[in-house]
Structure 1
Amino acid sequence: MPFDTLWMPAGPAIPGNRLEMVIAVDFGTTFTAVAYAKSFAPNQHTVLRYRGPMSPNPNHDKVPSILRYDNGGTTGRFTWGFEARRSLHPGERVHECFKLGLYTKYEEQRYTKSNLSGKYPITTALRLVKGEEAEKLVVDYLSGLKWIIDEHFEEIGPPYNGLPRRYIFTVPATWNYKGEEKIRKCALVAGMGNGNGLQVISEPEAAAIHTLKRKFQIGLAVGNTFIICDAGERTVDIASYTIRSLEPIRLDGAAQGSSVVCGSIFLNRIFADYLQRKLKGYYGDLDPRLLDCAVGEFENRFKAEFTGDDDDTYDIPLVELSDNPRHGMEENTLTLSGKELRENVFDKVIGNIQELVRNQIFTTTGHVKAIFLAGGFGQSAYLKQKLELMHCVKRKDILIAAENR
């Protein structure tokens, strides 16, 4: 085969049948999540809930991948995750997307493929550091994360807090061995596992394994070819596989994977830009705090549930603005139509994903039976709908499957 073969046993490998906790770390560019399972019950996993005092939700299942150092640099006292976000001063910049400093060649390649990165750049981040500085940031962040993991198992108590722990890290689809080894090195320095207790796997491969564990729900069988579209906050990774075996899981790569910077975070940035342009002629530049609140409403109430229906309406509180019915502003609330959001926000991002999927279908060896949507953005009903309406998807009778929220 011209592409890699992926092999994964039916359950996590247990050296010498040893009982252990298997901890999966999805160290994302924008957010990070952790889940774990006991080696003797691999299909019964638990998602770690972050219960820090700065979390907007006492049971949040992901933590922002950001770092803030008191001196504004890369040394000394720091906070991470929600604590870093909540301790920001107005206009202050912090370290975001710092994982990408481990493998800048890969990052530059993805930026050249994205028409969104330059037009809607991140405005809250310090410059991306590289080399040893980037490694230090990753180690600091993972050290904070490990502290939360250790605290969680101490709360659980015996016997599970005393079991050995094996860590599994995911990396972007297009990272090569060099990038994987840098993540491995940082995780080991942060105290996560040892040489034999640390595994690195690509994000689409992890999603593919999860997909096959749900095979009876989406009808995949040996010999079938499918595509994983892992749509996250910042990036969308895509890969194709053909099933060689289900017990144990063995997959052949069916096309070269790809990754583009066109994730759901750009919906927020485009929405903010659209509000500024829509209202500037009547209210001037919006106060940054007011704009942040509006984007928060969009993120938490509307983005995931958006359907693209023209007749739907979405109310955004803007308490400091006077009425302007002509532009949908009444009683301190801006009302936007589904058509307005679809044309001016959502389609600007989803069009990039459609192109990515279209190219993957045509470069995949064999007939594509299904496209499985993974990641937070992959749960978008509107994204699923737009992919189902693509001509090549309908003509080839490809199933679009997404995990229920």
Structure 2
Amino acid sequence: MSDHDIRAVVAIDFGTTFSGFAFAHKASSEIETNNRWIGREGLPKTNTALRYDSNLEVTAWGEPALVDGPEKKKKSKDAQQIYTVEMFKLHLTEMSKKSKPPLPPNMSFKKPIKDYLFEMDKLIQETIEKTWPGMRKEQVLYVMTIPAEWREFTKGVMRECAHEAGIIASVESENLEFTSEPEAAAMHCLKVIEEHNLQTGDSFLVVDCGGGTVDLTTRKLRGDGTLDEITERTGDLCGSTFVDREFLKWLGKKLGESAMENVKNNHYGNLQYLIQKFFCPRVKFLFDGDPSNFKNIDVDIEHWCPALLKYVTGDAREQMEEEDWLIELDFNAVKAMFDPVVKKVLKLITDQLKAAAPSQRPSAMFLVGGFSESKYLRKRIKEEFLNQVPIIAEPRQPMAAVVKGAVAYGLKMETVNTRVLKWSYGIEILAKWQAGVDPKKRRTPDGRIYRFNRLAERKKPVEVNKEFTGEFKPVYPNQTSVIFKVYYTKRNWVRFCDDPGVRFLDLPDVHLGINRPIEFGLTFGKMELKATACNKTTGQVYQTSWRLRNFAT
């Protein structure tokens, strides 16, 4: 695919709790955000949720899938089983299995991702046809955003799901690119830096506060209008949904953890009705941390989550019946729901500021993402950091910042000049075993040892398309081929490829007919990693890319 073949860019922000898409024609570069969602007309995103019938066929998606009011009694014993599935993006994280959201029996975590992308793509195609009649799918570049903390294999999973959803024609398609969520947010913030008088050489911190993850990146402005990443982008699972979880924990202490677990497993839609229609609009969205602005509110369990009633037992049931199933929610309880999550966000920001060199400390901090609209979160961030960062601002439409920035990235990828590596990369080599230095158990029968040979170091800024190379020679005189195995790790010092935290990158093996020596290199492109091996005697070059295959977990 040539850049000349692309006429439009569509960005998909596949979020933990909310997702959306935006688009632009390359001729005008005017970015539009989709605001046509069933149940959420006029908003830039809809819920990342699906409803399935007993045959695991999708019956609703977006907000209609998630909130359907308190469950009514079934009219017959033959009524179909309904499954509500949300936050399935968390299955791509390293969160414990117990903490991940439930899925219907025997459902792979890839199925809801594929199904959701399929439903979204139908709306995308309707939008494209309406906006630019006759445009072919191969003339559209899709850009998908991924969290900063996702492991390497997740891009392969998303590419596979995008293919199965019909977004791209093949897994290897060049019509799909990836950008990290904080990088996309930084691209969006480029449009507002002039409003804050940032100059060439100034740096700014972007804090993308989403529903599941909070991602951060620090970028420096260059004179040519491009951006350098000057610290390692970071993130954690501390988005707004974790405040919801604290609310459910609080209810569990009042009603019993087993009661909450039963409702979660058997009446998930009713539980989400309680969160989406009561807790979020009446409590979470309004909380600003000022006790004088807070009025105690009763949680009417019988109204908002009647499915709970049959699971509450013992003393808790007696207490609830005496109080007509009303639980008073006071200021201290709500603050305690926010504080563990907010504390994590503050630590992420602190670590980012510490990671920047004194001469590159950010002149501004931009808060984007849906959670950034929390009055309490914004207040705590300003209390902690306004003496360190002179400008703390929220660009317009913070909820759409990532998806609009992803379109901007697709329109002009060269804006990103450098990235800071999140992993160290290296290859497995067969070296001579050294007595007194190397473990005896690792010695091969012919007196050698397999080691990790680092080529690229984590936390180092790397120019896009920068190549890291090393020259290697065959081990045996009669050797006719070489296989390079590539590994990656977050650890700064690694000796062996099976050390803890070292992961193998599954890719088509690079085989070489050789007459020695061989130069092996890794090139860090836009959002892909390319391996090149060159027989320096014959000049023959072998290449492969990690973008084209699923990554090993």
Counterpart position of 1:66: 49
Is residue 2:396 matched to residue 1:396? Answer: no
Is residue 2:341 matched to residue 1:363? Answer: no
Q: In structure 2, do the counterparts of structure 1 residues 355 and 20 end up closer, same or farther at CA, with 3 Å as the change threshold? A: same
Counterpart position of 1:45: 32
Counterpart position of 1:341: 334
Among candidates 358, 374, 377, match of residue 380 of structure 1: 374
After TM superposition, the structure 1 = structure 2 runs for residues 324-335 of structure 1, keeping only pairs within 5 Å, are: none
1:141: how far off?
A: 2.2
Among candidates 219, 231, 245, match of residue 269 of structure 1: 245
Counterpart position of 2:174: 196
2:52–2:83: 8 Å Cα contact kept in structure 1? no
Is residue 2:296 matched to residue 1:318? Answer: no
Q: In structure 2, do the counterparts of structure 1 residues 220 and 127 end up closer, same or farther at CA, with 3 Å as the change threshold? A: farther
Q: Distance in 2 between matches of 1:46 and 1:262?
A: 26
Name the SS of the counterpart of 1:267 in structure 2: helix
Counterpart position of 1:20: 7
Q: Distance in 1 between matches of 2:161 and 2:259?
A: 43
After TM superposition, the structure 1 = structure 2 runs for residues 81-160 of structure 1, keeping only pairs within 5 Å, are: 81-82=61-62, 83-85=64-66, 94-101=84-91, 103=92, 107-108=93-94, 111=95, 121=99, 124-126=102-104, 133-156=108-131, 158=133
Counterpart position of 2:198: 220
Q: Distance in 2 between matches of 1:128 and 1:239?
A: 38
Q: Distance in 1 between matches of 2:174 and 2:220?
A: 29
1:337: how far off?
A: 4.5
Counterpart position of 1:297: 278
Q: In structure 2, do the counterparts of structure 1 residues 165 and 88 end up closer, same or farther at CA, with 3 Å as the change threshold? A: farther
Residue type at the aligned position of 1:63: T
Q: In structure 2, do the counterparts of structure 1 residues 40 and 193 end up closer, same or farther at CA, with 3 Å as the change threshold? A: farther
- 1:202-238 deviation per Cα after TM superposition (whole angstroms, max 9, x unaligned): 1000000001111122332221122221111111112
Name the SS of the counterpart of 1:350 in structure 2: helix
- 1:186-211 deviation per Cα after TM superposition (whole angstroms, max 9, x unaligned): 32332324533222111000000001
1:229–1:237: 8 Å Cα contact kept in structure 2? yes
Identity %: 28
Q: Distance in 2 between matches of 1:124 and 1:38?
A: 39
Unaligned 5+ segments in structure 2 are: 72-80, 304-319, 398-553
Q: In structure 2, do the counterparts of structure 1 residues 86 and 395 end up closer, same or farther at CA, with 3 Å as the change threshold? A: closer
- 1:257-303 deviation per Cα after TM superposition (whole angstroms, max 9, x unaligned): 222111101111212332453x549xx97996886554322212442
Q: In structure 2, do the counterparts of structure 1 residues 263 and 246 end up closer, same or farther at CA, with 3 Å as the change threshold? A: farther
Q: Distance in 2 between matches of 1:340 and 1:192?
A: 45
Residue type at the aligned position of 1:257: R
More deviation, 228-237/140-149: 140-149
Name the SS of the counterpart of 1:41 in structure 2: coil
Q: Distance in 1 between matches of 2:127 and 2:242?
A: 33
Q: In structure 2, do the counterparts of structure 1 residues 180 and 122 end up closer, same or farther at CA, with 3 Å as the change threshold? A: closer
Q: In structure 2, do the counterparts of structure 1 residues 330 and 213 end up closer, same or farther at CA, with 3 Å as the change threshold? A: farther
Residue type at the aligned position of 1:46: T
Name the SS of the counterpart of 1:368 in structure 2: coil
Q: Distance in 2 between matches of 1:85 and 1:263?
A: 19
Q: Distance in 2 between matches of 1:201 and 1:123?
A: 25
- 1:107-163 deviation per Cα after TM superposition (whole angstroms, max 9, x unaligned): 22xx48xxxx97xx466545897xxx4444433321121112223344557367899
Name the SS of the counterpart of 1:355 in structure 2: helix
1:62: how far off?
A: 2.4
Counterpart position of 1:5: none
More deviation, 367-376/39-48: 39-48
Is residue 2:284 matched to residue 1:309? Answer: no
1:383: how far off?
A: 1.1
1:346: how far off?
A: 1.5
Among candidates 235, 249, 269, match of residue 259 of structure 1: 235
Q: Distance in 2 between matches of 1:381 and 1:27?
A: 25
1:169: how far off?
A: 0.6
Name the count of aligned residue pairs. Answer: 356
Q: Distance in 2 between matches of 1:128 and 1:209?
A: 40
1:244–1:252: 8 Å Cα contact kept in structure 2? yes
Name the SS of the counterpart of 1:311 in structure 2: helix
1:399: how far off?
A: 2.3
- 1:335-394 deviation per Cα after TM superposition (whole angstroms, max 9, x unaligned): 64445422x21112101111111111111232121221111101222212101111xx24
Q: In structure 2, do the counterparts of structure 1 residues 386 and 256 end up closer, same or farther at CA, with 3 Å as the change threshold? A: same
Name the SS of the counterpart of 2:245 in structure 1: helix
Q: In structure 2, do the counterparts of structure 1 residues 389 and 88 end up closer, same or farther at CA, with 3 Å as the change threshold? A: closer
Aligned-pair RMSD on alpha carbons? 3.9
Residue type at the aligned position of 1:306: F
Q: In structure 2, do the counterparts of structure 1 residues 80 and 244 end up closer, same or farther at CA, with 3 Å as the change threshold? A: farther
1:24–1:169: 8 Å Cα contact kept in structure 2? yes
Higher Cα Rg: structure 1 or 2? 2
Calculate the TM-score normalised by the size of structure 2.
0.56
Counterpart position of 1:3: none
Residue type at the aligned position of 1:24: A
Q: In structure 2, do the counterparts of structure 1 residues 258 and 397 end up closer, same or farther at CA, with 3 Å as the change threshold? A: closer
Which structure dedicates a bigger proportion of its chain to helix? 1
1:179: how far off?
A: 2.8
Q: Distance in 1 between matches of 2:106 and 2:298?
A: 33
Counterpart position of 1:234: 212
Counterpart position of 1:11: none
More deviation, 263-272/133-142: 133-142
Q: Distance in 1 between matches of 2:346 and 2:212?
A: 16
Name the SS of the counterpart of 1:199 in structure 2: strand
Name the SS of the counterpart of 2:155 in structure 1: helix
